[in-house]
Amino acid sequence: MTDLVIWLDTAEPGAVTSAAGPKMGSLAELGRAGFGVPRAFAVTTAAYTSHVGASGLDALADQVLAGVRDPHRQQALETASARIRKAFEDVDVIGPVAAAVAECYGELCHRSSHPRVPVAVRSSATGEDSAGASFAGVFDSYLGVSGAGRVVEAVRSCWASLFNERAISYRLAHGLSHRETPMGVGVVELVDARSSGVAFSAHPVTGKHDRMVIEANWGWGEAVVQGLVTPDCVEVGKDDRRVLRHEVATKEFVSAFDDRAGRVVEMPMPEGLRNRAVLDEEQIGCVVDVVLGVERHYGHPVDVEWVIDRDRAPGGQVTIVQARPITFQPRSGTVAAWDPVAYAAKYAFGGGTGR
Domain locations in the chain as residue ranges: 5-189, 193-353
Residue 225 CB partners (closer than 8 Å, separation 6+): 344, 345, 348, 349, 353
DSSP assigned state of 133 = -
What is the pTM (predicted TM-score) of this model? 0.88
pLDDT of the residue at 129? 47
Q: HSE, CB side, 13 Å, CA atoms: give it for residue 280.
A: 5
Residue 122 Cα to chain centre, angstroms: 6
Q: Compute the distance between CA of residue 248 and CA of residue 246 in angstroms, rounded to an integer.
A: 6
Q: In the predicted model, what is the mean pLDDT of residues 21-37? A: 95
Q: Compute the distance between CA of residue 129 and CA of residue 184 in angstroms, rounded to an integer.
A: 13
Confidence at 270, pLDDT banded by 50, 70, 90:
confident
Q: Compute the distance between CA of residue 156 and CA of residue 146 in angstroms, rounded to an integer.
A: 15
Instruction: Render 297-329 in DSSP notation, one character per residue.
Output: HHTS-EEEEEEEETTPPTTPPPEEEEEEE----
pLDDT higher than 60, residue 342: no
Residues 148-183, buried b or exposed e (16+ Cβ, 10 A)?
A: bebbbbbbbbbbbbbbbbbbbbbbbeeeeebeebbb
Please state, as a whole number, how many other Cβ atoms lie within 10 Å of the Cβ of residue 211: 18
pLDDT higher than 80, residue 74: yes
Amino acid, res. 327: T
pLDDT tens per residue, range 30-39: 999 999 999 9
pLDDT higher than 80, residue 354: no
CATH superfamily of 5-189: ATP-grasp fold, A domain (3.30.1490.20)
As a whole number, the mean pLDDT across the chain is: 88
The more confident residue out of 347 and 23 is: 23
Residue 191 Cα to chain centre, angstroms: 13
Mention the CATH class of domain 193-353: alpha beta
Please state, as a whole number, how many other Cβ atoms lie within 10 Å of the Cβ of residue 308: 23
The residue ranges of DSSP E strands in the chain, in sequence order, are 5-7, 40-43, 119-125, 140-145, 183-189, 193-200, 211-218, 232-237, 243-247, 253-258, 263-268, 302-309, 319-325, 352-353
Burial of 83 (0-12, 13-18, 19+ CB in 10 A): middle
Q: Are 309 and 191 in contact (CB under 8 A)?
A: yes
Alpha-carbon distances of 69 from 36, 76, 77, 250, rounded to whole Å: 44, 9, 9, 44
Q: Compute the distance between CA of residue 48 and CA of residue 180 in angstroms, rounded to an integer.
A: 12
pLDDT tens per residue, range 83-131: 999 999 999 999 999 999 999 999 999 999 999 999 999 998 875 544 4
Instruction: Render 227-281 in DSSP notation, one character per residue.
Output: TS-PPEEEEEETTT--EEEEEPPP--EEEEEETTTTEEEEEEPPGGGTTS-S--H
What whole-number percentage of the chain has pLDDT above 90? Answer: 70
Q: Are 187 and 157 in contact (CB under 8 A)?
A: no
pLDDT tens per residue, range 135-189: 556 788 898 999 999 999 999 999 999 999 999 999 999 898 999 889 999 999 9
Which range is least confidently modeled, 87-91, 284-288, 299-303, 351-355? 351-355
